[in-house]
Amino acid sequence: MLFFSFFKTLVNHEVTVELKNDISIRGTLKSVDQYLNIKLDDISVVEEMKYPHLSSVKNVFIRGSVVRYVHLPAAAVDTPLLEDATRREASQAVAKAKQG
């Protein structure tokens, strides 16, 4: 759930999503859901000639399971905060495992 929350903080930022079929799509992150499905607006494809089917498309919904990487704007990521949140979630998971 942490990365779901994290991606929500990146809404309206420009990101590049690289898919497992090697297409890279750049666009404004509009929405994300629990499966990390991603919605991008005003998209541009890095190699348009190779992927002509995306030329008349303005916004895309990308299934989370086909995403390989998401390239993020460094300025929009608070790394120490993310580290802290990760540790907290990990320690909570450990505590929960001990309980159950």
Partner 1 sequence: MADPRLSSSNHAPGFPPAIRLEPGQLIPFDQPQQHMNHPPPPGMNPMMQMQQGPPPIPQLPPQMFTTAAQLLDLTDKKLMVVLRDGRKLIGVLRSWDQFGNLVMQDTVERLFVPKEFLYADIERGLFLVRGENVSLLGEIDLDKDDYIPPPYQLAPVDKVFALKKAEDVENKKSEKLKQKRLAKEGFEGEHAGEAIL
Residue 5 near partner 1 by CB under 8 A: yes
For residue 47, CA distances in Å to 7, 25, 39, 67, 69 come to 25, 9, 20, 17, 17
Residue 69 near partner 1 by CB under 8 A: no
C-beta of 39: minimal distance to partner 1 in Å? 5
Q: Cβ atoms within 10 A of the Cβ of 33, count?
A: 13
* 29-32 contact pairs (CB < 8 A, 24+): 30/59, 32/4, 32/7, 32/8
| Nearest CB to partner 1, comparing residues 54 and 72 | 54
C-beta of 78: minimal distance to partner 1 in Å? 7
Q: By the criterion CB under 8 A, which residues form the site for partner 1?
A: 1-2, 4-6, 8-9, 11, 19-21, 31-35, 37, 39, 43, 48-50, 52-63, 65-66, 68, 78, 80-81, 84-85, 88-89, 92
